[in-house]
Amino acid sequence: MTTTMPIEQNKNDLVDLIQRVLDEAKVQGATAAESDVGAGTGLSVTVRLGEVEKIEHERDKGLGVTVYMGKRKGSASTSDFSDRALRETVKAACDIASYASEDSCAGLIDKELIAKEIPELDLHHPWPISPEQAIDIAVECENCARNYDQRINNSDGCMVSTYSGIHSYGNTHGFANGWKWSSHTIDCTMIAEHAGKMQRDGWYSKCRDHNDLQNIIDIGTEAARRTVQRLGARKLSTRSVPVIFEAPVASGLFSAFTTAISGGSLYRRASFLLDKLGEQIFSDHMLIHEQPHLRKALGSAPFDNDGVATRPRDIVKDGILQGYVLSGYSARKLGMQTTGNAGGVHNLIIEPGKETLNDLIKQMDTGLLITDMIGFGVNKVTGDYSRGASGFWIENGEIQFPVEEITVAGNLKDMYQHIVAIGNDVDRRGNILTGSALIENMTVAGE
């Protein structure tokens, strides 16, 4: 049996549904309204030690509506698309609005900012895979990892998942549109043991199109290699050294950056990058830009959650902050104009250099390569950064031994200023696309 699409996933049906909700909002006295609808189907299979552990079928849908009574706002949601349920959902939103306080910044985005053209971004590639086929893929991937090294004696399993859905949005400015999308993942995690101590690690591939997924043999091999490589991990004494954040963990550095320049943090004055527009916040070789129209990319979107057209733009150029990340509401709070980022950034690209990860290791000569992080020790008001980490100690430009139970600490303002290089090993499995990042100096706390 293959996954099938629910009838609600016809784009025109959802646009019609949104229009019915908006019309009902007007009937119930709203001066303006907006609505978003999502629907989709998915399949997820997990095997462990060659046995099926879990098979999950997803089939979900949901609708949210926000109404405005002048400058008062109310929101409600439902997963029932019957006429009665839609009327009751609109009524619930109107009731909330009637009791809400006025907010001078509330309301729809200005009509002239609404997206007028919807580019085709090639985001929808359903994977017609049966549970049996998914099980076979997961078993083969896990077996490849388990057979890599005799020290791999257990598994946290291998998961194969696929999801295909649609997102639509509309408002009473006469806008209603949406797009279909898909996402597929193969994820394998192994456990290895040596001298009575165990280590766990893994690897995954994630794409819009299942044909672009990494080969399952390569996924299993990489999961096993990373697991075995961690065996024999030691602790370090406290020291200050250069640090490389491997690409999969480097994205966290730039996630903290987008939070700091987002409208919500700025108008609440809860950001370590407050009032830094036009100032140098990164080293001068850094270019960070948003590319929302990359075909098949996981962060691509033709318009944001306000219905504003997304557009490519530089956020940091020559290390200087060029712009914030603003929705319509946060832009009004700040007396600025939306940047088309209601809902966040779309494909934030940290422009890579030409160096491979090995080049960065040789350039660093002596220091720490971080491959995994624990916890969320980032103070978004001060920029203070302190997180648990594990990885590898580097000397003479080569890996010497794995390390664990350490903490890396610094302040993001200083860390951004002292990024020496970004590697060309760009991790494309998410919305922040970055290679490994070499930082000149950080405190590593250990024994």
Residues 187 and 294 in one domain: no
C-alpha span between 203 and 191 (Å, rounded) = 12
pLDDT over 90 at 341, yes or no: yes
- Residues in the chain, how many? 447
Banded model confidence at residue 376, pLDDT cuts 50, 70, 90:
confident
Banded model confidence at residue 7, pLDDT cuts 50, 70, 90:
very low
| pLDDT tens-digit readout, 86-105 | 999 999 999 999 999 999 99
Q: Is 400 a domain residue? A: yes
| pLDDT tens-digit readout, 35-94 | 999 999 999 999 999 999 999 999 999 999 999 999 999 999 999 999 999 999 999 999
Where a domain ends, among 193, 213, 228? 228
Q: Is 349 a domain residue? A: yes
Q: Is 168 a domain residue? A: yes
Residues 41 and 151 in one domain: yes
C-alpha span between 157 and 53 (Å, rounded) = 8
pLDDT over 60 at 2, yes or no: no
Residues 216 and 298 in one domain: no
Q: Mean of the pLDDT values across residues 7-12?
A: 62
CATH number reported for the structural domain that contains residue 198 in this entry = 3.30.2290.10
Query: Which residues are within 8 A (CB) of 388 and not within 5 positions of it... i.e. 6 or more apart?
Result: 373, 374, 375, 377, 405, 406, 407
State percent of the chain over pLDDT 90.
96
Report pLDDT for 5.
41
The string of DSSP codes covering 334-403 is HTS---S-TT--SSEEE---S--HHHHHHHH-SEEEEEEEES--B-TTT-EEEEEEEEEEEETTEEEEEE
Report pLDDT for 24.
98
C-alpha span between 293 and 269 (Å, rounded) = 31
Residues 218 and 242 in one domain: no
Identify which of 94, 400, 109, 37 has the alpha carbon closest to the alpha carbon of residue 236.
Answer: 400
Write down the pTM of the prediction: 0.94
246 close to 335: Cβ distance less than 8 angstroms: no
Crossing angle between the packed helical segments 83-99 and 11-27, to the nearest 10 degrees = 50
Q: Mean of the pLDDT values across residues 334-360?
A: 98
Residues 39 and 162 in one domain: yes
The runs of H, that is alpha helices, within 76-122 are 83-99
Q: Mean of the pLDDT values across residues 200-220?
A: 98
| pLDDT tens-digit readout, 139-162 | 999 999 999 999 999 999 999 999
Q: Is 1 a domain residue? A: no
Residues 288 and 198 in one domain: no
Residues 190 and 259 in one domain: no
Q: Mean of the pLDDT values across residues 169-197?
A: 96
Report pLDDT for 225.
98
Q: Is 108 a domain residue? A: yes
321 close to 262: Cβ distance less than 8 angstroms: no
| pLDDT tens-digit readout, 23-41 | 999 999 999 999 999 999 9
C-alpha span between 276 and 271 (Å, rounded) = 10
Instruction: List the structure tokens of 138.
Output: 């997961």
61 close to 39: Cβ distance less than 8 angstroms: yes
Q: Is 2 a domain residue? A: no
Q: Is 148 a domain residue? A: yes
State percent of the chain over pLDDT 70.
98
Residues 213 and 118 in one domain: yes
Report pLDDT for 21.
97
pLDDT over 50 at 282, yes or no: yes
Average of per-residue pLDDT values in the chain = 96
**120-151 residues labelled b (16+ CB within 10 A) or e (exposed):** ebebbbbbebebeebbbbbbebbbbbbebbeb
CA contacts within 13 A on the Cβ side of 216: 19
Banded model confidence at residue 375, pLDDT cuts 50, 70, 90:
confident
pLDDT over 60 at 190, yes or no: yes
| pLDDT tens-digit readout, 298-332 | 999 999 999 999 999 999 999 999 999 999 999 99
Report pLDDT for 9.
52
C-alpha span between 243 and 409 (Å, rounded) = 11
Provide the domain count of the chain. Answer: 2
Domain that holds residue 308: 233-447
Banded model confidence at residue 4, pLDDT cuts 50, 70, 90:
very low
| pLDDT tens-digit readout, 227-264 | 999 999 999 999 999 999 999 999 999 999 999 999 99
Residues 379 and 327 in one domain: yes
Residues 257 and 297 in one domain: yes
Q: Is 65 a domain residue? A: yes
Where a domain ends, among 228, 259, 274? 228
Residues 216 and 252 in one domain: no
pLDDT over 80 at 369, yes or no: yes
Compute the 3-state secondary structure of the chain and give helix, strand, coil in percent, each to the nearest 5. Answer: 25, 40, 35
Return the bridge partners of 403, or none.
234, 391
C-alpha span between 409 and 240 (Å, rounded) = 10
Where a domain ends, among 174, 200, 228? 228
Residues 282 and 196 in one domain: no
Query: Which residues are within 8 A (CB) of 16 and not within 5 positions of it... i.e. 6 or more apart?
Result: none
Higher pLDDT, 376 or 51: 51
Crossing angle between the packed helical segments 216-229 and 131-146, to the nearest 10 degrees = 40
